[in-house]
Structure 1
């Protein structure tokens, strides 16, 4: 069943120096036409996969969904309501920039069913924010969160980043302190990965990007886990922490290896055993959809072996790990029969633990997650 829908808004008023997602500057873009095209794509998708749809989560990402004006957001929500069945909808999330969320936009979002906000805060050090290409200030964060609470939003998450250029441990501890003072139900924290086609990548190739070393980054991760747990914000995935019962349902679909729809230019989806990526350039995406074609740039039918691999390296991201019974029911073979040798190797080093129900990374294993994930690729 297709349980989630991701909707990509590729417009930004400012391009962050670390971002490699499909995005363009807002100015002079066919924003209104793009929104209408999203509606057409959703209608086409629902027509094809109607018997597979059981949508429990919708996620607006980007780019920046809040780059849209309040009327543009309203039109987007009208199209979503018109085309996507929401009988089973439980979580409706939108990403947002703290300096772009106006009162009017928040009211439109609240009135149209958004019940979870994910704010791109990244740091409470304003020099680091400028280094990242962010345009908001700490005051924007405080004001926006209070305004959202006043309107009635209770499920608010913020994104943080560490391992940033020039970032010290003291700066990271300060950011964590300020973040936790907000007493929010959910936090995500990611180490910087320098991706091609970003400002940071260009600087790195020129030797002009000074990053914390691996040891300091690992220490930052240790401090992160300790600080969150001390405030009752429990880690449930390598980079995600929440109060009990307030995990991100949409992201859990990814880690549970469940099918989901992806709408918009450059969006990715997973339907009927096929992983697909939409056309990235906005005009080419719109031309395909308006011509009555699915805007697929690439598609791959996932083999049984690949599905097992994905089950492991996605599922092991979760603190709860991979459920053995579910693995056996899904693939008709026990997890130990397929991966017994790899499991033994990492259990001996104390990086993986196993019980009757599940296989999961230990705290030690979370520091070398990427290495462990690669070990579950079957030759």
Structure 2
């Protein structure tokens, strides 16, 4: 069964200086055409109505940048194609200040039960430097509006290691975020991505990130502060109160199958991963023509499946279940990875328990180095053939 559905809405009122996702300035005509194209893609690839899925996630871009008519068309499409009452988690992303009461009520009427807010930092000056439109006061207004209309499952995104950000500034921002007593927090160190404003500034020597040791200190403060507030770290960058872990993101980290629709969206279907066309006119044209706006397809064989099971599973604090691995592939993870696991345990980056292999606190800081140990070659595959 395909567990989850990701739907990408690429429109924004303003492009943030750090963002490398597929995004375009909102234009009413282009957005209306895009919803028509998206509808054709979904109808072409999902047959029938009321299909069962575990999670739905509408991401962006900024889905709430759509006008009320466009948003309703999108929600009606999703309602026709998927069994919403039996979908355990239905999330939409949005920015503080983008919500108005009519839109919030519409979301509730169509079964959306989780909101993910792009807050990023509780500092108006830093928000401006990031290219964000909202201010801190908009976060409070939006949360009040959501709570008044019955939304309690709310997540906020935070970014740290921002240009010129001190450890003390990060700590103040985090304390304000935690004072909101929300059930879920996603937190990411700033990454300088190509084709962004920040990348251009970085190349010119005009972007000054905190030193590495300050970033590590911020991450330690983050983990400790969350723990003190009974908010559990369940993935490298994600924290939640018990029962509020993102079920949609767990689909990715559990290496399960999901649909992906919209410009630049990726899907993981049995035996293959696909990536859609990113440029808006090209996506819209192809999706309207035949409903298959696919740019790339990667065949996923046993080697790739095993690697991804380890890469993705180790992002979770619970790690990789040895019994689940054996049930899924028919052999032990130690068949291929016994030496790598032993090396990483000796380094102090990995630990092994009765039914799991997972990162240590130190290993969380060196995740990419750990993951590199689980790349396979054809010689390794001979062990199970």
TM-score range normalised by the length of the shorter chain? over 0.9
RMSD value, Cα: 1.3
Q: Residues 67 and 194 (structure 1 numbering): CA distance in 2 closer, same or farther, change over 3 Å?
A: same
With structure 2 as the length reference, what TM-score do the two structures score? 0.95
Q: 1:64·1:96 contact (CA, 8 Å) conserved in 2?
A: yes
Find the aligned partners of 2:81 and 2:324 in 1 and give their Cα distance: 32
Residue in 2 aligned with 1:263? Answer: 261
Stretches of structure 1 that go unaligned for 5 or more consecutive residues are: none
Confirm or deny that 1:296 pairs with 2:294.
Answer: yes
Residue in 1 aligned with 2:308? Answer: 310
Shift of 1:364: 1.1
Shift of 1:237: 0.3
1:14-29 equivalence runs, <5 A: 14-27=14-27, 29=29
Residue in 2 aligned with 1:112? Answer: 110
Equivalent in 337, 340, 365 of residue 338 of structure 2: 340
Higher mean C-alpha displacement, 178-187 vs 290-299: 290-299
Residue in 2 aligned with 1:7? Answer: 7
Shift of 1:36: 1.8
Find the aligned partners of 1:164 and 1:156 in 2 and give their Cα distance: 24
Secondary structure of 1:291's aligned partner: helix
Secondary structure of 2:144's aligned partner: helix
1:1-379 equivalence runs, <5 A: 1-27=1-27, 29-47=29-47, 54-86=52-84, 88-379=86-377
Stretches of structure 2 that go unaligned for 5 or more consecutive residues are: 378-385
Find the aligned partners of 1:141 and 1:293 in 2 and give their Cα distance: 38
With structure 1 as the length reference, what TM-score do the two structures score? 0.97
Q: 2:275·2:296 contact (CA, 8 Å) conserved in 1?
A: yes
Shift of 1:29: 4.8
Q: 1:39·1:83 contact (CA, 8 Å) conserved in 2?
A: no
Shift of 1:61: 0.3
Secondary structure of 1:16's aligned partner: coil
Secondary structure of 2:260's aligned partner: strand
Q: 2:96·2:119 contact (CA, 8 Å) conserved in 1?
A: yes
Q: 1:324·1:359 contact (CA, 8 Å) conserved in 2?
A: yes
Shift of 1:338: 1.0
Higher mean C-alpha displacement, 232-241 vs 276-285: 276-285
Find the aligned partners of 1:196 and 1:277 in 2 and give their Cα distance: 19
Q: 2:266·2:274 contact (CA, 8 Å) conserved in 1?
A: yes
Deviations 1:307-360 (A, max 9, x none): 111001100000000010111111111011111111111111221111121110
Shift of 1:85: 3.9
Find the aligned partners of 1:8 and 1:274 in 2 and give their Cα distance: 20
Higher mean C-alpha displacement, 114-123 vs 324-333: 324-333
